[in-house]
Structure 1
Amino acid sequence: MPTTPSSYVTTRVSGTGSRYDRVGGESAILARAVDGGRVGRECVTFPSMPSLDVVSDDIYASKSGLISEIGGMSHRAMVMDRLHETAYQTSSIGNSLGSPLSGTSETVSSLTAGDVRGLLTNLRGDDVVVVGTGSGEHDRLVDDAQGDGTAASGGGEAGQAGDVTRGDIRERVGDLIRYDSHGTATVALAFAGASHADPKAMPLALMRAVLGSYATSDGLGKNIASSMCQEVADHGLASSISAFNLSYSDAGLFGVVMTAPDNKLDDLLWYVMPNLVRLAHGISDEELARAKLALKASICSAYDGDIVSGETMATQIQTIGRVMSLAEALVRVDALTMADIKATAGEVINDQDHALAAIGGIHELPDYNWIRRHSYMLRY
């Protein structure tokens, strides 16, 4: 779509993420077919208004590039794929959010242009959202969206994600991800979170800000604000640790991902688990105030500029059905109380099953029962 220098278009196509891929990797190929396309677990986002019929019969270049990316994945990206695999093991369509984000080398190698086109034929009209920001004209945007074939006409129906189930990938796939020769391990631990439209979504986002993130490369050391990260830094337990809160259309994951020396995993979990459980029993007023400021800064960054605000609006339209203004989002953060945090953490973390994935030297990683036992406080 031709645009003026100060106008931007964001196209978000849901129903094409890994949870809907029948073979594996179709959505990633689709993203590569359009310059700047970005694949998510439930969508593909384009910084333009492309025709969805972009896949030619010759997709060898896209496949080769994607296979190279898969081969060079970081341990963090790999462990997050594994975490989704163990958390979402059931689905009405056979695949789910547990599918690898970009497929596997084997599935991508077997892909054909017909597989990708088949993915697109299942799209419905409301699977495609086109958002214009900047100085563009609304009527022109509508005409171009209809004329370029961006509006989908398929009649596919959305699948459903499975529930978070008890699972430990380390035990389920054994030595496929255990490397005793590695001096470090990357571990992801998660609980069932909330969907985009769930009332728990905002409290979980605030809980993520409370836990924060830390990396030795930051240079902050134990002077970092987060209590959990202070303890990790003070005892030298991990080179990096960060909380995450992932929301999807009807599911979510909340937890932490960390990279640590192989001989400090037991100590690391000893400090991480109480900090997670502590959210269900109350944090200090100072921590709550700091987390609110951090969350509001993160929200403001999602509205900072035409391009990022277009992505934010497209996501909101497809997930909550409307655009939430920046003012409303900030008011919602200010309205959160300690009781909201405790209630949400009590429902999500306290005495709840978890999903776990780990890659590397994991011989000292506590087992499922140890972590499950430390998901609640034992009081006498």
Structure 2
Amino acid sequence: MPGLQTVALSVVAGRGARAEDELRSGWSHLLEHMVFKGAGARSARQIVEVIEAQGGNINAATGYERTSFQVRALAGGLDLGSAVLADLVQRPALDEADLEREKQVVGQEIAEAADAPDDLVFELAQTAAFEGQPLGRPILGTPQSIATTTPQALGAWRASLYGPKTLVVSAAGAVDENELLRLVERDFGHASDDGAAPEAQAPARFVGGQRPLAKKLEQANLVLLLPAVGVMDPAYFSLRLLAEVLGGGMASRLFQEARENRGLAYAIDAYSETYADAGVLGVFAGCAAGDAAELARVAAGEIAGMLKPVGEAELSRAKAQLKGAMFMGREGALARAEQAAGQVLLFGHTLDPVEVAAEVDAVTPSHLVSLTEQILAHKRAAVAVLGPKAALKAAPAFERSLFG
């Protein structure tokens, strides 16, 4: 990326919490924590100190289908960044005393998520959508599931999760391609593939159901999910645009109808969440408890309204917003490195932004109608409502309004 004085390096494994069974729920996230407790010849403190001493920072993230380790550094920091990340994913210490302490830390993280309404309501909806499956379990796991880990078991899990066949190394910014190739050969070229072969991934099934939970809060929190398509489906960009028209901004249908016209909610938006083989169309809203049921009915009505073709001006605005978000995201070095790694893991190559924009432009009103028909044909929804008891009527109100 010409003109940048910094570099972003990502080492991304194409496995995450979705690879776990119920007994190992949360192990991938716990492992991500543990590798920072010491790796290679460096202690936990040295790992961060050597990166920060060169003006950089180091981080990691665990998702359902990917685990990512990232270094941001000044130009010239690629050598050190590669060496440190290689140690993290290949040579973590996994000390027993550190593991017992980190179980407590993750337990606090689990408790914190349960105390945060805008975290908990999404977790409730996700559990309802994919009940009994890895996608339906929290990435953090449970205190019970992480308590069973040992250094030996976590080491075997690391070999399976971060084996060389699952890894992509990606860099963006002030990076020279030849230098990157040399460093990856140096740091990852002798990686051993001694982990268990990945088990075949069962296809995701959208189950659906209601998860109302009464809690003493000032406001009700609603998450409404419907089954949609995955990231590799030809209708992927139709899904993105469907969410944009519904609730992608202040000019969207949900914002205008629920907030501007009726004053039912301060915050409301629609979004799509996609995995390799499945996805959801979602609506999130926060409102007064007494308005929750009516807000759910309004959301159902706007979703059903997508069965009629949208106007060209409205669709054009949604396309411009989607392309703007995609191109703006690419202007950050770390975002570009992460995006490229994700594309290689999914498709085997990076995608040309111009071709992606052309796919967005190719979506027509009839595509959105067809996708809406497909989504509603399942007659299933996952509805989570969190807040005062009066708000819990929103869950049945949404399903009755949408499906009769």
Name the TM-score class by shorter chain. 0.7 to 0.9
Aligned partner of 1:199 in structure 2 is 234
1:327 aligned to 2:369? no
Deviations 1:73-125 (A, max 9, x none): 2222222222221211244xxxx111102122343344333343232232454
Deviations 1:301-354 (A, max 9, x none): 231132211111111111222211211111111111111111111111356311
Secondary structure at the counterpart of residue 269 of structure 2 = strand
1:167 to 204, 209, 214: 209
Does the 8 Å contact 1:15/1:158 carry over to 2? no
Does the 8 Å contact 2:230/2:275 carry over to 1? yes
Aligned partner of 2:44 in structure 1 is none
Aligned partner of 2:324 in structure 1 is 297
Deviations 1:241-284 (A, max 9, x none): 22121111211111112222111111101211111111122223
Cα distance, 1:157 vs structure 2: 2.7
Does the 8 Å contact 2:225/2:383 carry over to 1? yes
Cα distance, 1:141 vs structure 2: 2.9
Amino acid at match of 1:243: A
Taking the TM superposition and a 5 Å limit, the aligned residue runs for 1:203-352 are: 203-213=238-248, 224-234=250-260, 235-349=262-376, 352=379
Cα distance, 1:18 vs structure 2: 4.5
Greater CA deviation, 344-353 or 263-272? 344-353
Does the 8 Å contact 1:128/1:152 carry over to 2? no
Cα distance, 1:368 vs structure 2: 5.7
Aligned partner of 1:173 in structure 2 is none
2:151 to 110, 113, 138: 113
Aligned partner of 1:69 in structure 2 is 109
Q: Is the alpha carbon distance of 1:28 and 1:55 closer, same or farther for their aligned partners in structure 2, counting shifts above 3 Å?
A: farther
1:353 aligned to 2:380? yes
Deviations 1:42-70 (A, max 9, x none): 11111144231325212244333323322
1:16 aligned to 2:51? no
Sequence identity, in percent? 22
Q: Is the alpha carbon distance of 1:55 and 1:237 closer, same or farther for their aligned partners in structure 2, counting shifts above 3 Å?
A: farther
Q: Distance in 2 between matches of 1:313 and 1:362?
A: 45
Structure 2: state its 5+ residue gaps.
Answer: 37-57, 72-81
Does the 8 Å contact 1:279/1:342 carry over to 2? yes
Deviations 1:183-240 (A, max 9, x none): 32212111112211111111111111112257xxxxxxxxx31121112213222232
1:178 to 200, 214, 218: 214
Deviations 1:23-48 (A, max 9, x none): 22222223333440011121111114
Q: Distance in 2 between matches of 1:88 and 1:225?
A: 31
Does the 8 Å contact 2:307/2:369 carry over to 1? yes
When the two chains are superposed, the root-mean-square deviation of aligned CA atoms in Å is 2.5
Cα distance, 1:286 vs structure 2: 2.3
Aligned partner of 2:127 in structure 1 is 85
Aligned partner of 2:401 in structure 1 is 374
Q: Distance in 1 between matches of 2:229 and 2:265?
A: 28
Q: Is the alpha carbon distance of 1:213 and 1:206 closer, same or farther for their aligned partners in structure 2, counting shifts above 3 Å?
A: closer
Aligned residues: 354
Structure 1: state its 5+ residue gaps.
Answer: 171-176, 215-223
Point out the structure with max Rg over C-alpha. Answer: 2
Aligned partner of 2:183 in structure 1 is 144
Amino acid at match of 1:294: Q
| More helix as a share of residues | 2
Aligned partner of 1:43 in structure 2 is 66
Q: Distance in 2 between matches of 1:212 and 1:286?
A: 16
Secondary structure at the counterpart of residue 65 of structure 1 = helix
